[in-house]
Amino acid sequence: MENTKPIIQAVGFAFYFFISGCATTNNANDPLEGWNRGAQSFNDKIDQYALKPVAKAYQWVMPNFADQGITNFFSNINDISVTLNDLLQFKLKQTGMDGSRFLVNSTAGIGGLLDIAAMIDLPKHNEDFDQTLHVWGVPSGPYLVLPLFGPSSPRGVTGLVGDAAVNPATYIAGMNLLNVVDKRADNLTTEKILTEASVDRYEFIKNSYLQRRSFLVNDGNLPEGEDDPLENPQGENSKAID
């Protein structure tokens, strides 16, 4: 694994400088702001006219127990990636826990429809390839909004590709769409918080994303000086991911 780190780091640094070269503003804290606002506006339109109506219809026709079962199913599939990233980050104890969680839910949990593992003290963890790249020393690069995919970073793009490659749902037609609709339906009620708490929707989403990623890559601890985005919606004191 050590032999692969220089290669991964070189790719990460190259992507960082490529994106930095595409800067669209003089804002050092958000050099891609012009692109990002346009991409977010595009995503908001897609959500408004397509994804949100479908999610509302899905929520209306889907019984609560079935909705939860589908959410659990995709969460269980995600545990494959979580376990692999545990290992790549050398979190061996957590690797065993998350691997056991996947096995328990895949068998006793009827293919992951039931979260039996949570009942026997095997909680859900959140690890992805973006966090693994952070552990390996790859810089995040500037905030980047992807069309259709939303908030990310140059390192996050590589992370998305890596996680998709090990997710079985990627290779089954329609599975990813169902997962997206299910997640959107689960977040319909939280959208009101975003709308009411933010003066500038773009800034609120950006700072919430950056602080959430910082929380994750630092294993649950916000670095000193960073604020909770819900307490500081405009994120005046927000910092970069790393």
pLDDT tens profile 113-138:
999 999 999 999 999 999 999 999 99
- Domain interval for residue 89: 2-188
pLDDT at site 232? 41
Indicate if 151 and 227 belong to the same structural domain: no
**Same-domain pairing of 182 and 122:** yes
CA diameter of the chain: 55
Question: Residue 37 pLDDT more than 80?
Answer: yes
Average pLDDT over residues 170-174: 92
190-225 pLDDT tens trace: 877 777 777 889 999 999 999 999 999 998 876 665
Share of the chain above pLDDT 70, in %: 80
Boundary (domain end) residue, out of 188, 215, 232 = 188
Do 11 and 31 share a domain, yes or no? yes
**137 and 63 assigned to the same domain:** yes
Q: Phi and psi at residue 34, in whole multiples of 5°?
A: -60, -50
Q: What angle do CA 25, 31, 35 make, to 5 degrees?
A: 70
Claim to verify: residue 169 and residue 195 sit in the same structural domain: no
Residues 6+ positions from 219 with CB-CB distance below 8 Å: none
Q: Is there a single domain that holds both residue 169 and residue 222?
A: no
What is the distance between the alpha carbons of residues 49 and 232, in angstroms, rounded to a whole number?
Answer: 30
